[in-house]
Amino acid sequence: MNADSMFLFPGQGSQVVGMARDLHDRFASVRDLFTCASDIAGFDVAATCFEGPMETLTETRNLQPALTAVVLACYRAAVETRAAEPAFVAGHSLGEYAALAAAGVLTVEDCLKLTTARGRLMQAQAEANPGAMGAVLKLAPEIVAQIVEELAEEHLICLANFNTPEQLVVSGSEAAIEALTEKVSEVRGRVRKLKVSGAWHSPLMKGAETPFNDVIDTVTFADARIPVLMNVTGTPEQDGSAIKENMKRQMCSGVRWCPALQYAWDEGVRRFVEFGPKGVLAKMMKAIAADPGQMETLVVDNPEKLENWSAWELTTPAV
């Protein structure tokens, strides 16, 4: 095990048309993974990822199994190139399912089964209960929390993602996010409205939670080989039953990403590998680290990046 390394798995917002095409062309195991994903999801996942269009790819019922397949493809190609085992794994929101597969908690098939069901249920719920999300920038978390608490007296609103010390994401109704934007501007902050199709990680998803948890109950959660820093708690877990209960809460709970990564930093982790396109989580880590100068990040999403992966001194079981 590499005590100073951690593997990161991104979620919605990381997608680009064409993602993982080169890995699909090079690795038979990646082609097999995409075939498996298509069989489970009920649509051509490879074509959706490689050809789009972006509007189709971004629909959460398509995106959740598609991006999960891409992230697992990046991980599988890396492991096939050279095995390695980190001190921790973590995935942001949707990415937590890929992290569980990497840690041996879920099989690839069950991971894709869950993310397919999750995407369909969340899309249906978002259409029934429209909402929005906004990233609050340049304000201390306690100020954002106070504003959200005040707005909650009149609006359906909650903290959805604690991403970095200076970026919190808030979910709620359209009216709530508009009110948030006004309040934040009054104290010299800024809200960037996110391009999402629903108010993720909020009570607006409650109608999807119960049927999704019924699907979770059909799946085996094994004990984790590698500690998983959980979204719901921000702390590590390896017990399969405890992980299952965390995942039942995840859809409607806030993502404690910053506390989770700060925990890893405090445990001595200084090298962070992200599997998937765009490197969103690697960029976040630079805002979380107490001393970014001591940190290394690597994003693995194409064959060229695998050369950098091969050069790192790391030792991961295959998925």
Active site residue 202: no
Inter-residue contact 118 to 64 (CB < 8 Å): yes
Residue 8: what are its φ and ψ, rounded to 5°? -120, 140
Inter-residue contact 85 to 75 (CB < 8 Å): no
CB atoms < 10 A from the CB of 4, how many? 16
Q: What is the DSSP string of 83-127?
A: ---EEEEEE-TTHHHHHHHHTTSS-HHHHHHHHHHHHHHHHHHHH
Q: Which of 93, 197, 202, 253 is the catalytic position? A: 93
Distances (CA, A) of 13 to 64, 96, 247, 312: 11, 14, 20, 27
| SS3 label, residue 223 | coil
CB atoms < 10 A from the CB of 208, how many? 23
CB atoms < 10 A from the CB of 17, how many? 15
Active site residue 310: no
Q: Which of 24, 92, 155, 201 is the catalytic position? A: 201
Residue 77: which of 273, 238, 295, 283 has the closest Cα? 273
Q: Which residues contact 153 (CB under 8 A, 6 or more apart)?
A: none
Residues marked as catalytic: 93, 201
